Amino acid sequence: MDRDKWIKFVKAREHFRHETQNLSLSLVQLKNLQQKLIDSRSNGGNSSYTVETPVVYNTALDNVTVDDEIKMILVADNPGRREQAAQNRRYLAGPSGKIAHNFFRDNPALGIDFAKNVIILNKTPIHTPRTNELRRLVSMEAQSANASHTGTEPELPVAGAIEESQRFMADILLEFQLALCAQVWIVGYSEMKKGGIFETFTERLKNLYAQRDDLYKLTFFYRHFSMNQFTIDLKKQSLPGETAEKALLRIGSAYRKRILGK
């Protein structure tokens, strides 16, 4: 990337790092809640694990250099078990990441090397084993507060933190997109509708992109890579004789209109 892009990229990266660090410091109760959630769902089985990183900054961004060409920003949901592990602390570190890597490998006409040309963000950096368990985390916090209410509220409740984190992740997405002039693929749009877990992220994007048709045209929505949803949906919706690139543009634009309104 040229020097101007690099300077803007580094600024966005440091903003992201700073926001995740501040959020982590403000959520002193989060790790205990996450651990209770994990222990309660495992019933003593092998699915239990120790929470190592309650709020996850994507350390893969630190490997990007001025010599790299970033063509795409991929936005997933939130960090899962593998992503929060101290040995990783990067996004899409599990099966979904492998599926994404294989998809771009198997479609070289797209001109995307997943390992070299893509950076990954999330809609929130707050960890849960599964995305829909963000709701359960909030419920557990409320139950805990009711059981031991002292008349004072925590400095930053988890529910408020999840919403605030979605706003700053949307801000950071915009910052990276402006820096890199790259396509944005937002995967896993089902919880972005009204009443969904990521409604706050959606509303923030709508406000940020309100006067930026140029950014809208570079932003596409798809099914998640997990469980091959992305690939299955692409195959199902592709038209006879249509290239993967044309199908992706058409499908991604249609889902964008469904979520963002245009």
* pTM for the structure as a whole: 0.93
What pLDDT score was predicted for residue 43? 65
Q: How far apart are CA 127 and CA 102, in angstroms?
A: 25
What pLDDT score was predicted for residue 224? 96
What does the angle CA 101 – CA 72 – CA 240 come to, to the nearest 5 degrees? 70
Residue 148: pLDDT above 80?
no
Q: How far apart are CA 24 and CA 99, in angstroms?
A: 30
What pLDDT score was predicted for residue 41? 77
Residue 167 near residue 204, CB atoms below 8 Å: yes
Q: Across the chain, what does the average pLDDT equal?
A: 92
Q: Residues 43-100: pLDDT tens digits? A: 655 668 999 999 999 999 999 999 999 999 999 999 999 999 999 999 999 999 999 9
What pLDDT score was predicted for residue 57? 98
Residue 152: pLDDT above 80?
no
Q: What is the mean pLDDT of residues 210-236?
A: 94
Residue 235: pLDDT above 90?
yes
pLDDT band at 262 (very low <50, low <70, confident <90, very high): confident
Q: List alpha helices for the chain, DSSP H.
A: 3-26, 30-42, 81-84, 95-106, 114-117, 133-147, 158-180, 199-208, 213-216, 229-237, 244-260
Distances (CA, A) of 119 to 69, 96, 155, 160: 10, 15, 32, 27
Residue 149: pLDDT above 60?
no
What pLDDT score was predicted for residue 45? 59
Q: How far apart are CA 200 and CA 167, in angstroms?
A: 7
pLDDT band at 145 (very low <50, low <70, confident <90, very high): low
What pLDDT score was predicted for residue 46? 61
pLDDT above 90 covers a percentage of the chain that reads 84
pLDDT band at 14 (very low <50, low <70, confident <90, very high): very high
